[in-house]
Structure 1
Amino acid sequence: MNDRFRISSLLAGRLTEHGLALPDLLRLAGLPGGFLQQEKIHATTAELFALWRSVGELSPDPAIGLKLGSDPRLEKYHPAAVAAVCSRSYRDAIQRMARYKQLTCPEEIGIHEENGEATVEFIYHEADNDEPEVLIDMALAWIVSVGRLGTGGQVTPLRLDLKRATRQRELLEDHFGCRVRFKAGRNALVFRATDLDRPFLTHNEELLAAIGAQLETELQSRNRTSDLGERVKRTLKRSLAGRRPSLQDIARELGMSTRTLQRRLGEAAITFQQVVEETRRELAHHYLQQEAVELNGVAFLLGYEDSNSFFRAFHGWEGTSPGEWRSRTGAMGY
């Protein structure tokens, strides 16, 4: 997967508005002094995390991430965010944001519905450590901000799950309007599934068509040059939790017929089963390095019916058990 985030040229101005001195910020992050003045700004996951950790360390405002993610000025939005606000419903908006994220970074918006609840989280597949808290605050605040703007304030999450230790509870609960569960195994918003079907008062079909057409053209161009196996893998990573997606499911997500996907995989000399196993192995390594995720939880997140099936598969990949691998690689908790 290409580890390149495209950073908006407006970011430098937004950080300055919040009282941050860019030279100090970049120095602390270990980035070049002209990093945010480039015509096209790209960063690796490690560089992006270093930047946002530095924002958190230098800013005296504990709400800076929430404020950056809730900016109501449309001129500050990426075109994908404008398209989201112009969408037909909250579900349509989140799906558009998830789709167009592919244009700017190796970060995905995961959406999972179960038992009347809808979970939305940001997934950084190239991350070697936990996401900076300011970045998580900003991303999740952005999701809620789009929903509130589109529905006229009718969307409130049921719960906010955060990996971090308990702090700033009152600030976070006041902003999101829901209880916060700290020391969770993920950073995610949980909504009523029915809230995703709320229509957007800001729906604008003409503007949506104009912006959407350009974004779709960019996306199609990118997809034509993207490795099919990696595209299937990215889609699987969004869909594995609690179930095993079928070839038909993935084809539908990729906007092609099952027959076409099967043919193109064959032309690339790979099988769907091979991609599924590679995806599960990569995600297993990622989850096992997260001390808060239990082994049974890893099996669920990888779409296995039971823990024994996961243990057998992992032993086949690594020649050892998940618990032994976790201990050997230095992860904690087991």
Structure 2
Amino acid sequence: MKIGDTTALYVNQLLKLAAGMGADCDQLLADADLNPNELADDDNRIDLTYLMRLGRGAIRQTGRPDIGLQLGAHSHISSLGYVGLAAMTAKTLGDALNILVRYEHLNSQCYRGTSQLVAEGGQMALTFYSIAPYNAYTCFVVDGVLGAWAKLTYLLTGVTDLVRRVDIEFDAPSYGDDYQTAFGCEIRFGAPRNAIIMNAADMAIPLPDSSPQLHDKLIQICDELLNQIALADSYRNKVLKVLGTMLHGQTPSIDEVALKLGMPSWTLRRKLKEEDSAYQSLVDEMRRDVAMSYMKNTDLSFGEISYLLGFSTPGAFQRAFKRWSGQTPGEFRKLLSKK
């Protein structure tokens, strides 16, 4: 399903960590239906669906629901490639964090949203978008991202305890006590967002590896890579990305999506037609993909899934699901439970 992607490098890091905890990586890949050849090139983009499957399998095999926190703790600047090097050679911590946000899509992208660095009075919040609904096998994604950010603030500056508070959108999980060990600061579960919060004054901390000339060259490379992604990004994919952030309890109109993309709806219709696509077919495609993900990865009821996807009634969702899969939602889940 098309919910976004990450690099093979990040997937390989998860597999390496899981193997160190006793997991059988060959079995993890087989269960996730992921070809190992896809991971041979660290720059290869891997659909986020596979990351979710691998994380679920790793948690099941190792019995370690805190694997995301461990993944964050094992992060390195080099894990972010050119983006990490550009951040490392920046002038200040604030400059470095802005680079991480600005070039986030070079390492991962998700149709649910993008990360942001937001000023909040005397504090700065580095926020990660919601991936709700959460379950025992999806929290690791948030854990891994926030944990990596916290680790990077130390790796970039050499200063500990820069993170003053961590906001977690989901309720405290079974391993909730481990967050204090991982972050060493106040943890707020059930918060309205996912974020690490720092003092605004700390954004001025100079970086020991700052190198203006090298930094400028690295920024140029990041810009060129980002432009390549933008040029390759079709209007079809742009619409799917926007739909992913809006398809929660409603079905956005093409006018609303066009507004998000900064263009008139008639222009968007024309652009999609030039790509042999149509808005309603993309809404149907996104609904199908998200529905399949909810069915496979959550215990949400059919009524809850119907609401989240903007269907008028649960019956309308069940009819659409049978059209997509040839099975009713109940039949689909029964088959899943037998695997």
Query: What's the TM-score bracket when you normalise by the shorter of the two chains?
Result: 0.5 to 0.7
Q: 1:137 aligns with which of 143, 157, 162?
A: 143
Provide closer, same or farther for how the CA distance between residues 274 and 148 of structure 1 changes in structure 2, counting only shifts above 3 A.
Answer: farther
Question: Which AA in structure 2 matches 1:216?
Answer: D
Gaps of 5+ in 2: none
CA contact (8 A) 1:89 1:197 kept: no
Question: Which AA in structure 2 matches 1:78?
Answer: G
Is 1:159 aligned to residue 168 of structure 2? yes
Q: CA deviation at 1:237?
A: 0.7
SS at match of 1:169: coil
Q: CA deviation at 1:286?
A: 3.1
Alignment correspondent of 1:329:
332
Q: 2:261 aligns with which of 244, 251, 258?
A: 251
Is 1:26 aligned to residue 29 of structure 2? no
Question: Which AA in structure 1 matches 2:9?
Answer: S
Question: Which AA in structure 2 matches 1:139?
Answer: V
Q: CA deviation at 1:141?
A: 1.5
SS at match of 1:178: strand
CA deviations 1:166-199 (Å, max 9, x no partner) are 4222112442431446xx9xxx95349x979898
CA deviations 1:116-174 (Å, max 9, x no partner) are 999734759xxxx9747766532341244456778972452233526xx9422211244
Gaps of 5+ in 1: none
Alignment correspondent of 2:285:
278
TM-score (norm 1): 0.60
Q: Distance between the aligned counterparts of 2:238 and 2:247, measured in 1?
A: 14
Q: Distance between the aligned counterparts of 2:283 and 2:193, measured in 1?
A: 27
Calculate the aligned-residue CA RMSD, in Å. 5.5
Alignment correspondent of 2:317:
314
Is 1:221 aligned to residue 224 of structure 2? no
Question: Which AA in structure 1 matches 2:167?
Answer: L
Aligned length: 302
Alignment correspondent of 1:75:
78
Q: 2:194 aligns with which of 185, 190, 193?
A: 190
SS at match of 1:168: coil
Q: 2:203 aligns with which of 200, 203, 224?
A: 200
Is 1:236 aligned to residue 239 of structure 2? no
Alignment correspondent of 1:7:
8
Identity of aligned residues (%): 16
Q: Distance between the aligned counterparts of 1:64 and 1:318, measured in 2?
A: 33
CA contact (8 A) 2:69 2:147 kept: yes
SS at match of 1:291: coil
Q: Distance between the aligned counterparts of 2:38 and 2:258, measured in 1?
A: 43
Provide closer, same or farther for how the CA distance between residues 198 and 47 of structure 1 changes in structure 2, counting only shifts above 3 A.
Answer: same
Q: Distance between the aligned counterparts of 2:301 and 2:152, measured in 1?
A: 30
Q: CA deviation at 1:90?
A: 9.5
Question: Which AA in structure 2 matches 1:215?
Answer: C
Question: Which AA in structure 2 matches 1:247?
Answer: V
Alignment of 1:85-164 (within 5 A): 88=94, 92=98, 95-96=101-102, 98-102=104-108, 107=110, 110=113, 120-121=128-129, 131=137, 137-146=143-152, 153-161=162-170
TM-score (norm 2): 0.59
CA contact (8 A) 1:9 1:39 kept: no
Q: Distance between the aligned counterparts of 1:210 and 1:100, measured in 2?
A: 16
Q: Distance between the aligned counterparts of 1:178 and 1:91, measured in 2?
A: 21
Q: CA deviation at 1:271?
A: 3.5
Question: Which AA in structure 1 matches 2:25?
Answer: L
Question: Which AA in structure 2 matches 1:295?
Answer: G
